[in-house]
Amino acid sequence: MIDRPLRLPNGARLENRIVKSAMSEALADARNDPTEGMLALYKRWGQSGAALLITGNTPVDRNHLEHAANVVLDERSDPEKTRRLAAAAKSGGALALVQIAHSGRQTPEALNDRPLSISDTALELPGYGAPRMASEDELQAIILRFATAARLARTAGFDGVEVHGAHGYLLSSALSPRINTRKDRWGGSLVNRSRLLREVIRAVRAAGGADFVVAAKLNSSDFQKGGFTPEESIETARMLEREGVDFLEISGGTFETPVAYQHKAGKPSTAAREAYFLDYARDIKKALGIPVMVTGGFRSAAVMRQALSEDATDLIGMGRPFILDPAFPRKLLAGDIAAAPAPERDFPPAEALPRGAVLNWFCHQLALQGTEGKAEAGLPITTGHERYLGRIASSTARLLAARAAASC
């Protein structure tokens, strides 16, 4: 079943069920355009055998980055480099989407100490400034930025975009009653809290056209007291289907509850334990007619087949395996390997490591795939973690220097 094609509502055809989920690359140049290393990596991923590649978090606003080395998609982006990125990703026949995002209150303080957010509720983590509640006009401007990014993605040759409505970034934070304390039409009821995401999707659809793939990534839950719940996720998914979304990717968590990239999800003897959002996705999928993609933990072909045959998902999203072996889908589809690489299973539990160390180790390996053409799987976790922090610190210094030079 993994090799069975799937047609999306907009008419696009995916050759099989394997999708590379979004992974922030940290491979942009000083102008936040793709580097040659990033283009080379997407060319390799383009030959991977996956049916669809989704780029990493691509902010639509330079003042609200996820980190300094993000590729940005706005009017100042280099159209030729964006075109080359789309061409590289599509060079082996896969479809390619840009994941468009606004970081909101999860924008690092070093880049913006007063980021716009849905409210003034601050992130309970060090390194993030006090957010400011966006006005009506500012929200309208943000919606326009998403539409602009969709238009630019289309012009560059991408097949569509995935709107990042998960992991605590602006659109996801708007869904959470814990964060979104607004009293106007953007807060309160779920209809109001989902308005920003829905209006972004509507604007993106209008900008991209009927044949453009418009997907959304949504949390199954924030896994936070007073946050966005599984029941609200199902209701939101229904609303997004009515907005004409072509498929919905299911994930979970925020920066404060980083459950999207678990590495000790229990003994992987059942599909739900390996693919840790599968049970949530099953309930969401039952409520929808559009395809669903589940991302998080999938590694073994047997579990992928089981999830597809039980109709718990239509697409298998994977991230980390693409970092260690950019060619694994072809091998899995051919039956040459029974499972995708999963080095994280041998790592110590997160509590025994510095905060974010496992994710940063993978971020470093991803950057190495771009700059060196290969990962360094034997690198100790804390070394990879520290090298990634160093990479981000120098990208931050470079960006701040460029901003200072531009303002002179």
Which residues would be at the binding site for ligand FMN (CB under 6 A)?
A: 21-24, 56-57, 99, 164, 166-167, 217, 251, 260-261, 295-298, 318-320, 359, 362-363, 366
* Residue 104 region by backbone torsions, left for phi larger than 0, else alpha for psi between -120 and 50, else beta: left
Rounded Cα distance between 203 and 19, Å, is 25
Other Cβ atoms within 10 Å of 85 Cβ, number:
28
Q: Which is nearer to ligand FMN, 203 or 259 (CB)?
A: 259
Nearest CA among 310, 323, 317 for reference residue 377: 323
CB of 107 to ligand FMN, least distance (A): 14
DSSP characters over 263-297: S--S-TTSHHHHSTTHHHHHHHHHT-SS-EEEESS
C-beta closer to ligand FMN: residue 55 or 133? 55
Q: Which amino acid is at 40?
A: A
Stated as kind and residue range, the H or E segment containing 40 is helix 36-46
Residue 275 has phi, psi (to 5 degrees) of -95, 90
CB of 243 to ligand FMN, least distance (A): 19
Residue 380: phi and psi, rounded to 5, are: -55, 150
Considering the complex, state which of residue 268 and residue 319 has its C-beta at the smaller distance from ligand FMN. Answer: 319
Q: Closer to ligand FMN by CB, 142 or 260: give it.
A: 260
Q: Are 319 and 295 in contact (CB under 8 A)?
A: yes
DSSP letter for each residue of 318-351: E-HHHHH-TTHHHHHHHTS-SB---GGGGSPPGG
Question: Shortest gap between Cβ of 383 and ligand FMN (angstroms)?
Answer: 16
Query: Smallest distance from the beta carbon of 345 to ligand FMN, in angstroms?
Result: 11
Give 228 or 362: the residue with its C-beta nearer to ligand FMN.
362
Of 320 and 385, nearer to ligand FMN (C-beta) is 320
State the minimum distance, in angstroms, from the CB of residue 405 to ligand FMN.
28
Residue closer to ligand FMN (CB basis): 203 or 359: 359
Report DSSP state, residue 38. Answer: H
Coil, strand or helix at 232: helix
Question: What is the smallest separation between the CB atom of 323 and ligand FMN, expressed in angstroms?
Answer: 7
- Least CB distance to ligand FMN at residue 167 (A): 6
- Give least dist CB 366 to ligand FMN, A: 5
CA quadruple 70, 159, 200, 251: dihedral sign: negative
Structure tokens at 390: 């160093």
- Please identify, using beta-carbon distances, which residue of 187 and 370 lies nearer to ligand FMN: 370
